[in-house]
Amino acid sequence: MNAAADEQLKQARDEFVAQWGALGTQWGINRTMAQIHALLMTAPTPQSTDEVMEELEISRGNAHTNLKELVAWGLVRIVVKKGDRREYFEAEKDVWKIFTTVARERKRREIDPALDVLRKCAEISEEIDTPDGKAFFEQMRQLEEFVEFASKMADRISGMKHGFALQMAAKLLG
């Protein structure tokens, strides 16, 4: 083994885990959950809860809760090793699958509830026959229309095959 190369790899991996943790908060997940995801995504083999705890210096409860949440999101799967009672975890490594999974979960957790609120507010205000009531209703209706459009576009894109989606994006950006 090359100790210098191993140290360089560890340093790069630690930097990625830290940065992915910061990015995760923008996807709607907590920093630790994103750091665990990054750790597992870059691990050459499935990791146990103990290994995750040790590497990230987090409590068992924190590791367990976030691992289960990552499994619920579909970003991590449980691996069983014959003859070992412990659970091991491995992350999805396909970037397109990660993107579509995050997009689907964010839609379910954020966009769908927001659409429900917009629809309810439009419904409540539809019959208000004042200038302010009419303006509010129109604003809710326009927001609902836009969010529905964006949601449908996200569904279409995440349902595409990776290569086709890249071709479409290249045409739009080119």
Whether pLDDT at 158 is above 80: no
pLDDT digits (tens, 9 = 90+) for 120-138: 999 999 999 999 999 999 9
Is residue 43 within 8 A of residue 90, CB to CB? The reply is yes
Phi, psi for residue 91 in degrees, rounded to 5: -90, 150
Mean pLDDT of 167-174: 70
In CATH, what number does 3-91 get? 1.10.10.10
Give yes or no for residue 169 having a pLDDT over 90.
no
Instruction: Give the sheet arrangement for strand 87-91, strand by strand.
Output: 47-48, 87-91, 76-80
> 1: pLDDT confidence band, cut at 50, 70 and 90?
low
Q: Each residue of 14-64: pLDDT tens digit? A: 999 999 999 888 877 899 999 999 999 999 999 999 999 999 999 999 999
The CA distance from 126 to 24, in Å, is 38
Give the residue extent of every domain in the chain.
3-91, 95-173
pLDDT of residue 11: 95
SS3 161: coil
User: Can you give 53-121 as a three-state secondary structure string?
Assistant: HHHHCCCHHHHHHHHHHHHHHCCEEEEECCCCCCEEEEECCCHHHHHHHHHHHHHHHHHHHHHHHHHHH
The residue with greater pLDDT, 1 or 119, is 119
The mean pLDDT value of the chain amounts to 90
pLDDT at 107: 86
Give the integer Cα–Cα distance in Å for 160 and 96.
10
pLDDT at position 168 over 70: no
Other CB atoms within 10 A of residue 157 CB: 15
| Residue 97 predicted with pLDDT over 90 | no
Q: What is the structure's pLDDT at 29? A: 81
pLDDT over 70 for what percent of the chain?
95
Q: Is the pTM of this model over 0.85?
A: no
